[in-house]
Amino acid sequence: MSGKGQSGKSRRPAAEERPPAPWGNFPLAELAVLAGIVSLVIGVVGGSPTALGLGVALAGLGGLEVAAREHFAGYRSHTTLLAGTVFVFVVGGLFYLAGLILAICLGIGAAAFLVVFFALRHVFQRASGGLSFKVGRLGG
């Protein structure tokens, strides 16, 4: 097989294609983001804090799933976003669940961010063949 499509142009390598979702072509992440947006609108219009929280959670999970899949496949680096998510969960968990002082929570969260940031950067470097970040295609 020559690796050329029907138009005669060579196809991009597999590493340059967006990684597929584990559940196939079903747009689960996109539907989660859409449901989150709808819930956010309902929360804002109806004044419901529960709908607002649900909307943030659904939209965030949809975007986070795509970011994690692209990062671990070496398609695009989302190191800061993923490490920032760890920071938010660590600070929120320590502050609301453990009842620690906010300054202590922020310090521990910052330490967790740094550890996870460098670990995720290393994972992306291995998955992408040595790159520490990757920008989308600039040419057409």
Number of domains making up the chain: 2
**Is 6 part of any domain?**
no
Tokens representing residue 8 in the block: 């005669």
Give the range of the structural domain holding residue 117, as residue numbers without chain letter. 77-133
pTM of the model: 0.77
Residue carrying structure tokens 């309902």? 42
Instruction: Please tell me the distance from the alpha carbon of residue 17 to that of residue 109, in angstroms, as a whole number.
Output: 34
Where do the H-state alpha helices sit in 23-99? 28-46, 49-72, 79-92
Do 124 and 84 fall within a single domain? Answer: yes
Do 53 and 82 share a structural domain?
Answer: no
Amino acid at 120: L
**Is 19 a member of any domain?**
no
* Residue 21 in domain: no
Q: Nearest Cα to 90, choosing from 109, 116, 111, 118?
A: 109
The pLDDT-based confidence of 130 (bands split at 50, 70, 90) is: confident
The structure tokens 């219009």 sit at 45
**Separation of alpha carbons 128 and 122, rounded Å:** 10
Residue 58 lies in a domain: yes
19 within 8 A of 75, measured Cβ to Cβ: yes
- Per-residue pLDDT of 107-127, as tens digits, reads 999 999 999 999 999 999 998
Q: What percent of the chain has pLDDT over 70?
A: 83
